[in-house]
Structure 1
């Protein structure tokens, strides 16, 4: 292997794949990136055995070859070199040499033949979305995914595809986020798959919010996402996602219409003095007023009042203030609607101009 590549292009390619590389690995080779120089391109691949990202970049290829090199060291060296530099990368026996100007670095390598690869499974369902559509579906729901829950199927995001819509749903058992894209998908059979948390976060990082077409190829246990010059392959979480539609409240008789910015700002201020562990906030609704109250073990208290439109009898209810803020952050419009039934029933929050995306928050006892 002997290639020449602009520093900016190599750094961009490394940044695309390095998110997959864990800092602590059971197998030393998983700390490395597979580098394959062929024809006029360099292919970089990183994997953790569950998720794999492959990026292709144009290079001046003087001699083909392949090897694996330490991912973090490659990235840090490339980032430390000056902008506009050209990097020469050459493999001699089991050493990889990087040269740029008067800088020279020699890295240890591991045999490319030992590098594990996720083999592509046969595609059963194909879905094409734009970058903007996929990024919105992910960003409006991913914050509600569980972290390290024993119910492993909650540590991910449900992707549901039907003939006339695509949905993403996430829940950690205390709140639920659902986003919906209404459009003809071309699929003939309804499909539900659970994308792992790490896969969702990497897609969120890699996908640009533009009109570039992205193809998702789905099989029973794998998803492959083809972006421009980049391919992400991931195993799926096995298991049955909860029946989320049963969780979404219906028939609520109390409705709040509020200015998203004002209510969000008031909640943020009140949250400063909430209990750091439980993050509880008390909401009191009466007439056209929403009273927001928090307190903590140090006997510190905060109170805010915001004008809202409220239909229904006076009501007092407790929520996790962080969950309410996450829901309001995910709403795009200036006005939100919150539907409530009683002090011990879940609340439903959505954009007043678009009810396709919905957020359910369970109440707290305060």
Structure 2
């Protein structure tokens, strides 16, 4: 194999690959990226046996072929090469070395046979559809903050993507929760997705997927089966196993009759919470919200470090209410609001609170209160 490729193009492809490989693993080949050169393009494939990413980029292929090389090492080398450099990768297939040349720099990297590289088995996908990148980006960006990191409840370690009944008909929905907060995001149902099985997309896959969704013009091909999910553009294909578990009935924890309504400027609210939480202890980070007519008082009392309070003008016309929340949860939820105002719906100091973006029902958040 012998190819010539522009440094920036190579860096983007190798960066995608090396972010998939696990830094610590007992199978040496899993630390490598599989480089395959043919025609006028080169593909870079990496896997951790749960996720597989293939990135195809244009290159001058002087001699077709394939090899595998340490992904992290190759990424570090390419990252440190000068911008605009033309990089030549060559492998004679006999020496067990990949030569990396750019300008006056020369590197020799150990390789492993391509035959040893595990390729994720192809799956029969029961549902295939396409969705614009901004739609998928919104679904996953607004829900991923609520993914649980608790390994004992492994079925919460991802985003539940499924078809559901929304306010205006069938929708494509993403839900994530860790038991303390919940995010439920809806998007119009793409043609072809009607019979899609519900799948739990793992957190690592959600993070990798984010790199595919930056291009607002891109159309993402989505394929779903009971065991795998695949997201693809013409250049990049991301295939992942889904979490083998049953996502809980989240609808039971979303209150439907919280009568007390507060509307507040989302940016002002987030900034005020951030300020008063500065004095709270890291362990609890509790913020008390005290509500009276058109007035919100944010209060923190941390015996070890001090106290703080800030008053905000809000739209509120119900009874006096005092309720406490984890400041981190409030900030994360307020940070999802794209519109100017956030609407909070309360019941009592012990019941879950609902937050929406104005009157938009396509994004609903739930946060559990805490005793303060």
Q: What does residue range 254-333 of structure 1 map to in structure 2 within 5 Å? A: 254-333=260-339
Once residues 342 and 18 of structure 1 are traced to their aligned partners in structure 2, the CA distance between those partners, rounded to angstroms, is: 48
Structure 1: gaps spanning 5 or more residues:
none
Alignment match, 1:96: 98
Q: Which structure 1 residue ranges, 4+ long, deviate > 3 Å from structure 2?
A: 183-188
Q: Tell whether 2:49 aligns with 1:49.
A: yes
Once residues 124 and 62 of structure 1 are traced to their aligned partners in structure 2, the CA distance between those partners, rounded to angstroms, is: 40
Tell me the C-alpha RMSD between the 2 structures.
1.3
**Cα distance change of structure 1 residues 206 and 17 upon mapping to structure 2, 3 Å threshold:** farther
Which of residues 124, 138, 141 in structure 1 aligns to 2:126? 124
Once residues 58 and 343 of structure 2 are traced to their aligned partners in structure 1, the CA distance between those partners, rounded to angstroms, is: 50
Alignment match, 1:106: 108
Once residues 36 and 187 of structure 1 are traced to their aligned partners in structure 2, the CA distance between those partners, rounded to angstroms, is: 33
Q: What does residue range 1-366 of structure 1 map to in structure 2 within 5 Å? A: 1-92=1-92, 93=94, 94-162=96-164, 164-189=170-195, 191-366=197-372
Aligned residues: 366
Once residues 316 and 125 of structure 1 are traced to their aligned partners in structure 2, the CA distance between those partners, rounded to angstroms, is: 48
Once residues 35 and 267 of structure 1 are traced to their aligned partners in structure 2, the CA distance between those partners, rounded to angstroms, is: 49
Once residues 143 and 320 of structure 1 are traced to their aligned partners in structure 2, the CA distance between those partners, rounded to angstroms, is: 14
Task: Identify the range of structure 1 (152-161 vs 206-215) with the bigger mean alpha-carbon deviation.
Answer: 206-215
| Contact residue 133 and residue 209 of structure 1 kept, 8 A | no
Residue 38 of structure 1 deviates from its aligned partner by 1.4
Once residues 258 and 264 of structure 1 are traced to their aligned partners in structure 2, the CA distance between those partners, rounded to angstroms, is: 10
Residue 302 of structure 1 deviates from its aligned partner by 1.0
Residue 132 of structure 1 deviates from its aligned partner by 0.6
Once residues 119 and 312 of structure 2 are traced to their aligned partners in structure 1, the CA distance between those partners, rounded to angstroms, is: 55
| Contact residue 165 and residue 185 of structure 1 kept, 8 A | no
Residue 354 of structure 1 deviates from its aligned partner by 1.5
Look up the SS of the partner of 1:20 in the other structure.
coil
**Cα distance change of structure 1 residues 81 and 138 upon mapping to structure 2, 3 Å threshold:** same
Look up the SS of the partner of 2:152 in the other structure.
coil
Residue 72 of structure 1 deviates from its aligned partner by 1.0
Look up the SS of the partner of 2:91 in the other structure.
strand
Structure 2: gaps spanning 5 or more residues:
none
Once residues 300 and 99 of structure 2 are traced to their aligned partners in structure 1, the CA distance between those partners, rounded to angstroms, is: 59
**Cα distance change of structure 1 residues 4 and 184 upon mapping to structure 2, 3 Å threshold:** closer
Residue 184 of structure 1 deviates from its aligned partner by 4.7
Residue 190 of structure 1 deviates from its aligned partner by 5.4
| Contact residue 16 and residue 206 of structure 1 kept, 8 A | no
State the TM-score, normalized to the length of structure 2: 0.95
Once residues 153 and 219 of structure 1 are traced to their aligned partners in structure 2, the CA distance between those partners, rounded to angstroms, is: 17
Residue 128 of structure 1 deviates from its aligned partner by 1.1
Once residues 249 and 287 of structure 1 are traced to their aligned partners in structure 2, the CA distance between those partners, rounded to angstroms, is: 23
State the TM-score, normalized to the length of structure 1: 0.97
Residue 183 of structure 1 deviates from its aligned partner by 3.9
Residue 245 of structure 1 deviates from its aligned partner by 1.1
Residue 95 of structure 1 deviates from its aligned partner by 0.4
| Contact residue 276 and residue 296 of structure 1 kept, 8 A | no
Once residues 87 and 193 of structure 2 are traced to their aligned partners in structure 1, the CA distance between those partners, rounded to angstroms, is: 46
